[in-house]
Structure 1
């Protein structure tokens, strides 16, 4: 099972929310992602929520390629 420190990946307002609420949240709920970043992701890829971003095929492709990198530590 993978664990994640929500304080490190979410804006403070979202750290006490349930997983379904976080997945339905705008991408700006992620630490370091601004409202403008969220607008641009929506314009470019139709990404509105954290779940949309996680399901974006380009993100999945990049993660798969990174997983193949045997030089990464």
Structure 2
């Protein structure tokens, strides 16, 4: 039973230490984060392959040969 208690104490200490670290983090408001995310997306939309598509000649996942069934 002694090992079980010491393991619980160790887990509790780790949890307390993690919570102390998290309380020191500087957080920004959600609205500011959303605004920054929208701005980043707008600035990089021309390089986003999900929006612009991938050029067939530069697509590394394009099949090199076509499969023909007889």
* TM norm. shorter chain > 0.5: no
Under a length normalisation based on structure 2, what TM-score does the superposition of the two structures give? Answer: 0.25
Larger Rg belongs to: 2
User: Normalized per residue, which structure has more helix?
Assistant: 2
